[in-house]
């Protein structure tokens, strides 16, 4: 029998605790979200609430963000896809990069570890694709190496007609700058060259009645994500993804540039109260009724998601240690990475949790108790402590990933 409890619950927060609550929840939207869950509990009962919590935590995995990449042969489509999906060290998964025209049909690419972001490589010839398929994609990136071709413009007009989102990517900006410097060693000015390149594209678009301004034009070196407009491109894609898919895109990108790390941390932070609520629901002997993971397992799983998302899980660290040509243990020790020890096993994690839960750090918090239902305690009294502990774990992971990122940047500069 499952506990189907429909009743009135009180959800009172004493006024003098408001400040502490604000601190605990970080964002008033989270308080609103929590109140919505309490309404679900009141109106639909705990089993439905449990299902809803599970669905909400997992729903980013149910969508795909689909990006079509269009452009002439050799313009840099495959290289762009490899860069965004971070496929450079996995030969077997790489989009085909070459000097001859290799792509003849639309091929999809994804990173196996983050499969919800899919790139579609459109061949560099013609625009004779069934037009209705244009609706399948969230974004179009029109890639060129120098001037926009007639095909690029035809494509742009077709996409514009269908009111789909599209951006212009001008690759090989590194080579353009190098050539300019070589040909005009005395008068070369990087900013002016970039302005000129953007203006030329902008002029062509205006002439062709394609309504875009220069913030829709991105100058890239596909081999340098830190440079030029790469980070702005990633940010633009995140900002312009429909709300319901934004989490999917953010959690499907690699944590290899600061902008993406920041966005990921925000998304993970916003999940904390949902995770804590899920872990708290049905504490003790009630838990088996929900056929869910145990309370600790919910938290452990989330901790591992933090590591994976921020590129400090064992698989990602191994890859990074290979790039830096050192062994993984040395990398972990040099960077004082602690979270892999905390999350090395469920047992270790429970030990760490129990110390944290009884520590003074979790004492100074609002006395926020989730409501009882018909006299039955449905939630673990640790709800708020779970929130604080998850926050702490996320902050640790964030610090570690930033440290790793800095080390990697220094290594690349060497
Ligand atoms: N310097 C520089 N080289 C690049 C850049 N992007 C791509 N390349 C090189 O340009 C060549 C063509 O790149 P691809 O990514 O294969 O181009 P593509 O558009 O996929 O070409 P097709 O598959 O034939 O349609 C390769 O040698 C890449 O290494 C860039 O931003 N800068
Ligand atoms: Mg290609």
216-271 pLDDT, tens per residue? 999 999 999 999 999 999 999 999 999 899 999 999 999 999 999 999 999 999 99
Query: What is the C-alpha to C-alpha distance for residues 69 and 268, in angstroms, rounded to an integer?
Result: 29
Indicate if 85 and 153 belong to the same structural domain: yes
Residue 402 within a domain: yes
pLDDT computed for residue 384 by the predictor? 83
The mean pLDDT value for 101-130 works out to 78
Atom of ligand 1 nearest to the CA of 175: 1
User: What percent of the chain is predicted at pLDDT more than 70?
Assistant: 80
Question: Total structural domains in the chain?
Answer: 2
- For residue 391, list its beta bridge partners: none
Q: Tell me how far the alpha carbon of residue 343 lies from the centroid of ligand 1, in angstroms.
A: 40
Residue 41 has pLDDT above 80, yes or no: yes
CATH code of the domain containing 181: 3.40.50.300
Rg from Cα positions in the chain: 25
Question: Tens digits of per-residue pLDDT, 120-179?
Answer: 988 765 656 667 677 889 999 999 999 999 999 988 998 999 889 999 999 999 999 999
Residue 218 within a domain: yes
The mean pLDDT value for 273-293 works out to 72
Q: Tell me how far the alpha carbon of residue 98 lies from the centroid of ligand 1, in angstroms.
A: 7
pLDDT computed for residue 407 by the predictor? 86
The binding-site residues of ligand 1, defined as CB within 6 angstroms of any ligand atom, are 71, 73-79, 96-99, 101-103, 124, 171-172, 174-175, 220-223
Indicate if 112 and 234 belong to the same structural domain: yes
147 and 204 in contact (C-beta within 8 Å)? yes
Residue 3 has pLDDT above 50, yes or no: no
pLDDT computed for residue 127 by the predictor? 57
Query: What is the C-alpha to C-alpha distance for residues 276 and 157, in angstroms, rounded to an integer?
Result: 48
Contacts (Cβ under 8 Å, ≥6 apart) of 320: 311, 331, 404, 408
373 and 9 in contact (C-beta within 8 Å)? yes
Query: What is the C-alpha to C-alpha distance for residues 344 and 338, in angstroms, rounded to an integer?
Result: 10
Domain that holds residue 314: 15-44+261-413
217 and 202 in contact (C-beta within 8 Å)? yes
Atom of ligand 1 nearest to the CA of 222: 31
Mean of the per-residue pLDDT values of the chain? 84
Residue 90 within a domain: yes
Contacts (Cβ under 8 Å, ≥6 apart) of 132: none
Confidence of residue 10 (pLDDT cuts 50, 70, 90): very low
Residue 21 has pLDDT above 90, yes or no: no
The mean pLDDT value for 67-87 works out to 93
Confidence of residue 6 (pLDDT cuts 50, 70, 90): very low
**Beta strand ranges found along 56-138 (DSSP E):** 65-71, 107-111, 114-121
User: What percent of the chain is predicted at pLDDT more than 90?
Assistant: 53
Q: Tell me how far the alpha carbon of residue 115 lies from the centroid of ligand 1, in angstroms.
A: 23
Indicate if 117 and 136 belong to the same structural domain: yes
Indicate if 214 and 134 belong to the same structural domain: yes
Confidence of residue 7 (pLDDT cuts 50, 70, 90): very low
Question: Tens digits of per-residue pLDDT, 173-208?
Answer: 999 999 999 999 999 999 999 999 999 999 999 998
Residue 9 within a domain: no
Confidence of residue 381 (pLDDT cuts 50, 70, 90): confident
pLDDT computed for residue 360 by the predictor? 59
Residue 323 within a domain: yes
Residue 7 within a domain: no
Query: What is the C-alpha to C-alpha distance for residues 304 and 307, in angstroms, rounded to an integer?
Result: 5
271 and 302 in contact (C-beta within 8 Å)? yes
Which listed ligand is nearest to 87 at the C-alpha? Answer: 1
pLDDT computed for residue 141 by the predictor? 96
Indicate if 247 and 307 belong to the same structural domain: no
Which listed ligand is nearest to 74 at the C-alpha? Answer: 1
Atom of ligand 1 nearest to the CA of 75: 19
Question: How many angstroms from the chain centroid is the CA of residue 34?
Answer: 23
pLDDT computed for residue 88 by the predictor? 67
Per-residue HEC secondary structure of 223-245 comes to: CCCCCCCHHHHHHHHHHHCCHHH
Give, for ligand 1, the residue of 70, 71, 76, 151 to mutate: max count of ligand atoms closer than 8 Å to Cβ.
76
Among the three residues 252, 282, 308, which one is the final residue of a domain in this structure? 252
Q: Tell me how far the alpha carbon of residue 99 lies from the centroid of ligand 2, in angstroms.
A: 9
Residue 358 has pLDDT above 90, yes or no: no
Strands 107-111 and 114-121: antiparallel
Residue 58 within a domain: no
pLDDT computed for residue 292 by the predictor? 58
Residue 394 within a domain: yes
- For residue 166, list its beta bridge partners: 140
Among the three residues 252, 282, 307, which one is the final residue of a domain in this structure? 252
Indicate if 217 and 314 belong to the same structural domain: no
Which pTM value belongs to this model? Answer: 0.88
The mean pLDDT value for 7-19 works out to 47
pLDDT computed for residue 280 by the predictor? 87
Atom 12 (ligand 1) nearest CA? 74
pLDDT computed for residue 18 by the predictor? 56
Of residues 378 and 49, more confidently modeled: 49
Q: Tell me how far the alpha carbon of residue 388 lies from the centroid of ligand 1, in angstroms.
A: 47
Atom of ligand 1 nearest to the CA of 103: 23
Indicate if 309 and 169 belong to the same structural domain: no
Order of strands, edge to edge, in the sheet holding 165-170? 107-111, 114-121, 65-71, 139-144, 165-170, 217-219
Confidence of residue 78 (pLDDT cuts 50, 70, 90): very high
């Amino acid at each position: 029998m499952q506990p189907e409890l429909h009743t009135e619950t009180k959800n009172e927060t004493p006024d003098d605790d408001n400040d502490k609550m604000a601190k605990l929840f970080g964002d008033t939207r989270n308080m609103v979200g929590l109140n919505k869950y309490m309404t679900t509990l009141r109106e639909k009962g705990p089993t439905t609430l449990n299902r809803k919590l599970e669905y909400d935590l997992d729903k980013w995995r149910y969508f795909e963000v689909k990006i079509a990449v269009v452009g002439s042969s050799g313009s840099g489509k495959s290289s762009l896809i490899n860069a965004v999906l971070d496929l450079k060290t996995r030969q077997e998964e790489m989009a085909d990069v070459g000097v001859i025209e290799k792509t003849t049909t639309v091929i999809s690419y994804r990173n196996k570890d983050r499969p919800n972001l899919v790139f579609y490589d459109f061949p560099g010839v013609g625009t004779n694709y069934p037009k209705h398929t244009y609706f399948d994609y969230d974004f179009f990136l029109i890639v060129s190496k120098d001037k926009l071709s007639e095909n690029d413009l035809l494509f742009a007009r077709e996409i514009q007609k269908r009111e789909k989102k599209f951006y212009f990517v001008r690759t090989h900006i590194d080579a353009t700058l190098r050539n300019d410097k070589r040909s005009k060693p005395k008068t070369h000015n990087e900013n002016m060259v970039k302005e000129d390149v953007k203006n030329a594209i902008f002029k062509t678009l205006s002439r062709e009645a394609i309504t875009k301004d220069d913030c829709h034009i991105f100058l890239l070196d596909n081999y340098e994500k830190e440079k030029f407009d790469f980070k702005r491109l990633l940010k633009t894609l995140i900002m312009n993804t429909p709300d319901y898919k934004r989490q999917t895109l953010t959690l499907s990108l690699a944590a290899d540039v600061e902008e993406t790390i920041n966005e990921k941390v925000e998304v993970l932070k916003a999940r904390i109260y949902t995770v804590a609520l899920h872990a708290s629901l049905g504490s003790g002997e009630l838990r088996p009724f929900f056929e869910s993971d145990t309370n600790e397992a919910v938290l452990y799983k989330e901790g591992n998601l933090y590591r994976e998302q921020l590129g400090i899980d064992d698989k990602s660290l191994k890859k990074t240690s290979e790039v830096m040509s050192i062994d993984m243990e040395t990398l972990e020790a040099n960077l004082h990475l602690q979270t892999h020890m905390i999350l090395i096993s469920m047992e270790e994690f429970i030990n760490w949790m129990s110390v944290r839960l009884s520590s003074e750090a979790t004492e100074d918090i609002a006395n926020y108790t989730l409501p009882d239902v018909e006299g039955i305690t449905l939630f673990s009294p640790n709800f708020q402590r779970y929130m604080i502990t998850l926050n702490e774990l996320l902050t640790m992971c964030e610090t570690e990933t930033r440290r790793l990122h800095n080390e990697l940047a220094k290594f690349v500069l060497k």
